[in-house]
Amino acid sequence: MYSFGRNGSEGTADMRNLLGGKGANLAEMSNLGLPVPPGLTITTEVCTYYYANGQSYPAELEAQVSEALAKVETEMGMRFGDAENPLLVSVRSGARASMPGMMDTVLNLGLSPVTVEGLARRSGDERFAYDSYRRFIQMYSDVVLGVDHSFFEDRLEARKEERGYHLDTEMTADDWKSLIDDYKAIVERELGRPFPDDPREQLWGAISAVFGSWMNQRAKTYRRLHNIPAEWGTAVNVQAMVFGNMGDDCATGVAFTRNPSTGVKEFYGEFLVNAQGEDVVAGIRTPQHLTVAGKQANGSSDPSMEEEMPEVFAELVTVKDRLEQHYRDMQDIEFTVQQGRLYMLQTRNGKRTAAAALKIAVDMAEEGLITHEQAVARIEAQALDQLLHPTLDPKAPKQVIAKGLPASPGAASGVVVFTADEAEKRAQGGEDVILVRIETSPEDIHGMHAARGILTARGGMTSHAAVVARGMGRACVSGAGTVRIDYAKGQFTVGDVTVKAGETITIDGGKGEVMLGRVPTIKPDLSGDFGTLMAWADEIRTLKVRTNAETPLDAETARTFGAEGIGLCRTEHMFFSDDRIIAVRQMILSDDADGRRAALAKLLPMQRGDFVSLFRIMAGLPVTVRLLDPPLHEFLPHSEKEIAEVAAASGMDAQKLAARASALHESNPMLGHRGCRLGISYPEIYEMQARAILEAAVEVSAELGQTVTPEIMIPLVATRRELEILRKLVDDTAAKVFAEKGAKVEYLVGTMIELPRAALQAAKIAEVGEFFSFGTNDLTQTTFGISRDDSGAFLDSYREAGIFDQDPFVSLDQDGVGELVKIAAERGRSTRPDIKLGICGEHGGDPASIDFCQRAGLDYVSCSPYRVPIARLAAAQAAL
C-alpha cells in the first residue's frame, strides 16, 4: 500500500512495476508539488497474490487500506461514508504499461441515499450531487456489477425526450432524483438484489472489479497484441474525487504537451466545461479546444480554455512545461478544474504516431532535453514501418465526400465494413478493409487491428478510436459528423451519397478526409527528421545492414533506404520469369550433362545480365549471391502444355520428358535434392552461375573503375567436403574466366549455415569458406524440425499453451537456434579469425533478433528492402 498526497508520497515515478504507471506518476506529481488529489495505490503484487490465491486478498490488506484512507480523509477534511461531509473517491486501474480503455475506472464512489444529501448540502448544489450519484450508479453497475450501460443510457434518453430536453445539462435535480430511482430499479430487476448503499462494500466491490478486469477478454487481447505478460498484473488507485461537474467554473480535460499526430511543439488538447471524467473522450458532447491556435486550426467557433478560463489555463501551461521538462518526454495529461482550481489526475508518456515520435525525438535532442542516443533509443524501430509506406498522391483526382478529424495519419483504402468481427474476417481473407463505426469501444480492438483504417462519425482527437489507431499505426479519421451510419441497412450516407458495406473508400488520416474509391499513392519522404535520426543511428551502430534483393527495383529501393550491400541474392527467383523457365526446365529434364549444358548456355547471358545490373546499382558495395538452392521439384512442368513447350525448345520427346519429370518428383523436397546437393550432382549448373557472376563482376569493375567483390554463397552445406568440392569448382571457373577476359576481380566463397550439422562443424567448414551467412529460416526449420509452410496449423495452440512466446519464424529463437548461431560463430572464428558473419533469414529485419546478432558478434544483418531502415535503427539500439 503506497499513499500519495500533499504531505509526501511513498512512491516515485520509477516504481511503475509495483505501482503501475498511473500510481507511480501520481506519486511523482505530488512529489513535484503539483496539485494532485490525495489517494493510495494497492500494488501489482496484490494483483498477483489475488490470482495466485483463488481471488482473495492478503489478510492485512483491509486494515492497510483503512489506514491509508484515513490519511486521505485528514488531508481532505472529509470522511468516507460520512452523512455530513462525505469523501468520495475514484477507483482507478493502472497497469505497468498503459492500456488505454482496457481497465475500467469508477468515479464518485461512496455515494448513497445518505451521503448524497450531505454532498448536496456541503456543495450547496443539489443538482450536482444527484448528477454525480446517477453517474456513480451507472458506472458502478456497468463496471462492477456487470449491468449493461445501455439500460441506463436508454432510460436517460427516454427521460430527456419526455421532458423535451436536448442536453444532459437541462436535467434538474428532481429529474436526476427520479432517474436514480429508475436506475436502482433496473439494477434490482437485472440482478435480483439491490444496488449496494454501503460505501465500504462499494469500495471493495470496485477494487475487486479492477483486479478482475485484468483477466477480461479486452485486456487479454490488448496484452496479446502488445506482448504484455499476464504476470505483470495491475495496481489499483483509490483517489479523492475532485469535481469538474460542479458548474461553469468547473471543467475536465485531456492534453498532450506536443501534438501526438505530427509531433509539432504545440500544446494540444480538449476540454469540457461542467463535465466529468470520460465525458471528453466518450464523444457525448463535442469538446472545446484548449488553445486559441487549436481552435482556429480546426475551424471551431466554441471558445477555447485559453479564452474561457485564462487563469487556470495559464497554470495548466506552467504545469505541462514542468512535466515535460521533468519527464523529458511528451506527456499525455488528464486534469480537472473544480471551482476555478486546477487538479492533475494523470500524466504519462504520450502515445504518438511514428511521424510524431520522430519529430519529438529529433526536436527534443536539438532542444538539448535529451541526447542523440536517447533520441535513437526512443523510437520503436518497428514503428518506422508506418513512415516508409506510400501516402496519397496529391495530384491524383479524388472525390472527398466527408471531413472529420485527422486522428491518425496515413492513407488507407479498403472495403467498408461496419463491425469488428466482419473486419477481422475479411482481412483474414486477404482484403483491405476500412472499419466504419459511429464510435469505437474496447470491444472493437481486434477489428481495428485487422483494418487498414478506421472511420468514426463521433468522437474527438482523444476518442478511443483516435488513441488506439495511433497506437496501432492505423490510419484514422474520427468525428466525421456528416457521416450517417445505418448498421441495420449496412450502409452509410453523406448527403445524397450512399456507401454500402463492401464498397471501397479511401481515408486520409493526416487530413481527416474520406474519399470514394481507391486513390493512388506516392512514395514517402525520407529526408528531414527521418534523415536526421537515421544519421544519428548510423553513427551509433556497429552492425552493417544489407538487403535481400534480386531485382533491380528491390536493390534500388534498398539503397535509397540505406542498404550497405546485398546479403542475399536468391538466383532461383531469376529463373521463374516466362522467358527463362522453359530453358530451366530443359536443363532439369535433360538426361545428360550435354543436354544440360545446352540449356545452361541459353541461361548464361541472362544470368550475367542480372548480375551486371545488380553490381551497377550496388556500385562496389558487397553483393552475396547464393547459387541455386530450391529443389528441382519446384521447377518441374505441371501441365501437358508446359511439357510440350519444353519439348519444342529442346527437341526432346514429350513422353520421355513427362517420365523424367515424374521421376524427379520428391515427397519431401524441403529435405530433398536441393542446395549444394544440386551442385554436387549437376556441377554444370553452379559452373554456369559462377561464370555469370564473375564475368559480370569483371565487366562492371571495368565500367565503374572500381572493383566489385562478389561473395559466392553455397547453400545447404552440411559437411566440409561438400564445400571443398564446390569451392574448387568456383575457383577453377574463376581461373578460366580471368584468363579469357584478361582481367581479375577479388571474390569470396562462403556458405550458408542453415543445418545444425553445419553449425556444429563450423570450425572445419570455415577452413574452406571465407564467410558464413546464417540462413535462419531453414536453420529454424531444421533445428525445430518444423516446416515453416505447415506451422500455421499449430502455431496458435503453441502460443496459447505458452510453448512459443513468439512465432520462431518471425523472431529468432535465441535459446535454441541462437545457441547454434553462437556455436557456429565461435567455431568458425577458431579456424578463420577474420571470417565474415551475417544473417540473411527473415530475422535479419526483426529488432529483437538484430539485438541478438549484435550480442553474438555478427558483422551484418540482411533483410528485405522495406525493413532496411528498421534494421539500421534496431542495430543502433542494439549497440547502445
Q: Describe the strand order of the beta sheet including 491-494 as a list of residue ranges.
A: 484-486, 491-494, 497-500
Q: Which listed range, 99-107, 135-143, 446-454, 786-794, lies at the site for ligand ADP (CB under 6 A)?
A: 99-107
Q: Which is nearer to ligand ADP, 106 or 355 (CB)?
A: 106
Radius of gyration, alpha carbons of the chain = 33
Q: Are the C-beta atoms of residues 547 and 604 closer than 8 Å to each other?
A: no
Task: Work out how close the CB of 118 gets to ligand ADP at its nearest, in angstroms, rounded to a whole number.
Answer: 18
241 binds, among Mg ion, ligand ADP, none (CB under 5 to 8 A by kind): ligand ADP
Task: Work out how close the CB of 792 gets to ligand ADP at its nearest, in angstroms, rounded to a whole number.
Answer: 36
Binding mask 283-322 for Mg ion (x = CB under 5 A): ----------------------------------------
Of 269, 243, 244, whose CA–CA distance to 256 is shortest?
269
Task: Work out how close the CB of 302 gets to Mg ion at its nearest, in angstroms, rounded to a whole number.
Answer: 23
Of 872, 874, 865, whose CA–CA distance to 389 is shortest?
865
Task: Work out how close the CB of 92 gets to ligand ADP at its nearest, in angstroms, rounded to a whole number.
Answer: 3
Binding mask 21-60 for Mg ion (x = CB under 5 A): ----------------------------------------
Please give the annotated binding residues for substrate, written as ranges. 570, 626, 754, 775-778
Q: Which listed range, 237-245, 297-305, 641-649, 715-723, lies at the site for ligand ADP (CB under 6 A)?
A: 237-245
92 binds, among Mg ion, ligand ADP, none (CB under 5 to 8 A by kind): ligand ADP
Which residue, chain included where needed, has cell 555478427? 858
Is residue 353 within the footprint of ligand ADP (CB under 6 A)? no
Q: Which amino acid is at 809?
A: F
Task: Work out how close the CB of 190 gets to Mg ion at its nearest, in angstroms, rounded to a whole number.
Answer: 23
Residue 61 CA to chain centroid, in angstroms? Answer: 38
Is residue 107 within the footprint of ligand ADP (CB under 6 A)? yes
From 47, 250, 476, 840, active-site residue: 840
Q: Are the C-beta atoms of residues 408 and 475 closer than 8 Å to each other?
A: yes
Is residue 242 within the footprint of ligand ADP (CB under 6 A)? yes
Total residues at the site for ligand ADP (CB under 6 A)? 17
Beta strands in 409-530, from DSSP E residues, in sequence order: 411-417, 433-437, 453-456, 475-478, 484-486, 491-494, 497-500, 504-508, 513-516, 521-522
Residues 6+ apart with CB under 8 A from 830: 763, 766
141 binds, among ligand ADP, Mg ion, none (CB under 5 to 8 A by kind): none
Is residue 276 within the footprint of Mg ion (CB under 5 A)? no
Is residue 277 within the footprint of ligand ADP (CB under 6 A)? yes
Is residue 105 within the footprint of ligand ADP (CB under 6 A)? yes
Helix spans in 16-123 (H) = 16-31, 44-52, 61-76, 113-123
Considering only residues 852 to 871 of the shown chain, the ones binding ligand ADP according to CB under 6 A are none
Is residue 90 within the footprint of ligand ADP (CB under 6 A)? yes
User: CA separation (Å) from 560 to 35, 48, 555, 602, 840?
Assistant: 50, 49, 9, 33, 19
Residue 838: its H or E element: strand 836-839
Which residue, chain included where needed, has cell 436536448? 166
Q: Which is nearer to ligand ADP, 132 or 780 (CB)?
A: 132
Is there a catalytic annotation at residue 449?
Answer: no
444 binds, among Mg ion, ligand ADP, none (CB under 5 to 8 A by kind): none
Q: Are the C-beta atoms of residues 561 and 869 closer than 8 Å to each other?
A: yes
Shortest-Cβ-distance residue relative to Mg ion: 346
Q: Are the C-beta atoms of residues 480 and 493 closer than 8 Å to each other?
A: no
Q: Are the C-beta atoms of residues 774 and 841 closer than 8 Å to each other?
A: yes
Task: Work out how close the CB of 104 gets to ligand ADP at its nearest, in angstroms, rounded to a whole number.
Answer: 7
Is residue 278 within the footprint of ligand ADP (CB under 6 A)? yes
CA distance 263 to 365: 13
User: How many degrees, rounded to 5, is the angle at CA 697 between CA 695 and CA 699?
Assistant: 70
Is residue 138 within the footprint of Mg ion (CB under 5 A)? no
Is there a catalytic annotation at residue 853?
Answer: no
Task: Identify the residue among 23, 37, 86, 350 touching ligand ADP (CB under 6 A).
Answer: 37
- Phi then psi for 18, rounded to 5 degrees? -85, -40
Considering only residues 322 to 361 of the shown chain, the ones binding Mg ion according to CB under 5 A are 334, 346
242 binds, among Mg ion, ligand ADP, none (CB under 5 to 8 A by kind): ligand ADP
Is residue 346 within the footprint of ligand ADP (CB under 6 A)? yes
Which residue, chain included where needed, has cell 535513437? 376
DSSP string, 462-486: TSHHHHHHHHHT-EEEE--TT-EEE
Residues 6+ apart with CB under 8 A from 396: 519, 520
Is residue 30 within the footprint of ligand ADP (CB under 6 A)? no
Q: Which amino acid is at 122?
A: R
877 binds, among Mg ion, ligand ADP, none (CB under 5 to 8 A by kind): none
Q: Which listed range, 234-242, 317-325, 481-489, 730-738, lies at the site for ligand ADP (CB under 6 A)?
A: 234-242
Task: Work out how close the CB of 93 gets to ligand ADP at its nearest, in angstroms, rounded to a whole number.
Answer: 6
Please give the annotated binding residues for Mg(2+), written as ranges. 754, 778
Tell me how far apart the terminal alpha carbons of the chain are, to the nearest angstrom. Answer: 36
Q: Which listed range, 240-248, 407-415, 427-435, 597-605, lies at the site for ligand ADP (CB under 6 A)?
A: 240-248
Task: Work out how close the CB of 78 gets to ligand ADP at its nearest, in angstroms, rounded to a whole number.
Answer: 13
Residue 284, helix vs strand vs coil: coil
CA distance 17 to 229: 12
Q: Are the C-beta atoms of residues 6 and 38 closer than 8 Å to each other?
A: yes
255 binds, among ligand ADP, Mg ion, none (CB under 5 to 8 A by kind): none
Residues 6+ apart with CB under 8 A from 729: 679, 683, 686, 687, 690
Residues 6+ apart with CB under 8 A from 226: 97, 99
Q: Are the C-beta atoms of residues 206 and 91 closer than 8 Å to each other?
A: yes
Task: Work out how close the CB of 626 gets to ligand ADP at its nearest, in angstroms, rounded to a whole number.
Answer: 51
- Phi then psi for 539, rounded to 5 degrees? -70, -30
Q: Are the C-beta atoms of residues 696 and 608 closer than 8 Å to each other?
A: yes
Q: Which is nearer to ligand ADP, 338 or 862 (CB)?
A: 338
Quote helix, strand, coil % in the chain, to nearest 5.
Answer: 50, 15, 30
Please give the annotated binding residues, written as ranges. 570, 626, 754, 775-778
Is residue 345 within the footprint of ligand ADP (CB under 6 A)? yes
Q: Are the C-beta atoms of residues 401 and 515 closer than 8 Å to each other?
A: yes
Is residue 252 within the footprint of ligand ADP (CB under 6 A)? yes
Q: Which is nearer to Mg ion, 336 or 811 (CB)?
A: 336
Task: Work out how close the CB of 454 gets to Mg ion at its nearest, in angstroms, rounded to a whole number.
Answer: 18
Q: Which is nearer to Mg ion, 323 or 628 (CB)?
A: 323
Q: Which is nearer to ligand ADP, 468 or 696 (CB)?
A: 468
Is residue 245 within the footprint of ligand ADP (CB under 6 A)? no
Binding mask 303-342 for ligand ADP (x = CB under 6 A): -------------------------------x-x------
Task: Work out how close the CB of 240 gets to ligand ADP at its nearest, in angstroms, rounded to a whole number.
Answer: 6
Q: Which listed range, 51-59, 101-109, 120-128, 421-429, lies at the site for ligand ADP (CB under 6 A)?
A: 101-109
Q: Which is nearer to Mg ion, 346 or 854 (CB)?
A: 346
Indicate the Cα dihedral angle 394, 398, 404, 405, nearest 10°: -10
Is residue 877 within the footprint of ligand ADP (CB under 6 A)? no
From 446, 464, 633, 843, active-site residue: 464
Q: Give the interface with Mg ion as residue ranges (CB under 5 A).
A: 334, 346
Kindly list the catalytic residues.
464, 840
Binding region for ligand ADP (CB under 6 A):
37, 90, 92, 101, 105, 107, 239-242, 252, 277-278, 334, 336, 345-346
